[in-house]
Amino acid sequence: MPSAERPHDAPVDAPDPRFERTVAGVRCGEVLAELSDFLDGALPPARVAALQAHVAECQACARYGADVADALARLRAGLAEPPALAGAVAERLRVQLRARLAAVAGPS
């Protein structure tokens, strides 16, 4: 069975054969190009429906999309509000910050 991988000597801008299938009227490359907007909810409803129809029938795009969605969710969770500092730690930081600000401001 021939490999679907891009040949090593293929130009970088050559389409990857794994992502140039047309399924449900949408090419895999289109799904990849719009995946970020799709995941962010930034596409019009008709385009969302077209991409969902493609992904429902294309295992490669479904797997890739799920992997990207999972990675994005993990990144967003990691960027969420950090946990609150313990009261004593927060107070020590406030005291140090006030002292440094006072030192920078100089005598009044």
Residue with tokens 């294309």: 58
The predicted model scores a pTM of 0.58
What Cα–Cα distance (Å) separates residue 94 from each residue in 59, 63, 85, 99? 53, 48, 12, 9
Residue 46: pLDDT above 90? Answer: yes
**Per-residue confidence (pLDDT) for residue 10, from 0 to 100:** 45
- Residue 31: burial class (beta carbons within 10 Å; 0-12, 13-18, 19+): buried
Q: What is the pLDDT of residues 11-33, one digit of tens each?
A: 445 556 666 889 999 999 999 99
